[in-house]
């Protein structure tokens, strides 16, 4: 009985704690490691990697003019926040056989910030 009461108290305190909000400004700084291959914003073009305007909500392998791996084109992924987080953390695990050579970002807060930063951009590169 005592254990149940303690578990309930822990659950209630966790539920009452505010979720840490992702910070797009911090995401812009964390995105610096991505800039070697990816562009975002007005005028962004494909480089070593595809441009990332409008990536949140987009189908994987869908940017025109970029030569994706078969693994990415056939992944069936829609880049929602959960899929992006998994991919940014471990690209080769999320989509085995993709072309991205980057090992990933291991810090969950930085990943959330990067996604918040990317989510600001419409497909045409303008900010929402």
CA distance 83 to 55: 11
Indicate whether 31 pLDDT > 50. Answer: yes
Query: Is 11 part of a structural domain of the chain?
Result: no
Query: Is 104 part of a structural domain of the chain?
Result: yes
Q: Shortest CA distance to 121 belongs to which of 54, 63, 72? A: 54
Query: Is 4 part of a structural domain of the chain?
Result: no
- The per-residue pLDDT for range 60-112, each reduced to its tens digit, is 999 999 999 999 999 999 999 999 999 999 999 999 999 999 999 999 999 99
Q: What is the pLDDT of residue 21?
A: 85
Q: What is the pLDDT of residue 11?
A: 43
Query: Is 6 part of a structural domain of the chain?
Result: no
Q: How far apart are the first and last CA of the chain?
A: 51
Query: Is 30 part of a structural domain of the chain?
Result: yes
The pTM assigned to this predicted structure is: 0.83
Query: Is 45 part of a structural domain of the chain?
Result: yes
Query: Is 64 part of a structural domain of the chain?
Result: yes
Query: Is 17 part of a structural domain of the chain?
Result: no
**Domain around 39:** 25-118
Burial code (b: 16+ CB inside 10 Å, e: under 16) for 105-120 equals: beeeebbbbbbbbbbb
Can you give the CATH number for the domain in which 82 is found? 1.10.760.10
Chain-centroid distance, C-alpha 69: 19
Domain count, the chain: 1
């Amino acid at each position: 009985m005592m254990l149940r009461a303690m578990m309930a108290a822990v659950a209630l305190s966790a539920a009452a704690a505010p979720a840490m909000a992702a910070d797009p400004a911090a995401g812009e700084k964390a995105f610096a490691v991505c800039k070697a291959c990816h562009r975002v914003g007005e005028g962004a073009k494909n480089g070593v990697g595809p441009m990332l305007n409008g990536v949140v909500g987009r189908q994987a392998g869908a940017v025109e003019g970029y030569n994706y791996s078969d693994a990415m084109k056939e992944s069936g992924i829609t880049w929602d926040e959960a899929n992006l987080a998994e991919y940014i953390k471990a690209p080769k695990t999320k989509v085995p056989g993709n072309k991205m050579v980057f090992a990933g970002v291991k810090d969950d807060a930085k990943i959330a910030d990067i996604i918040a930063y990317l989510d600001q951009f419409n497909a045409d590169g303008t900010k929402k």
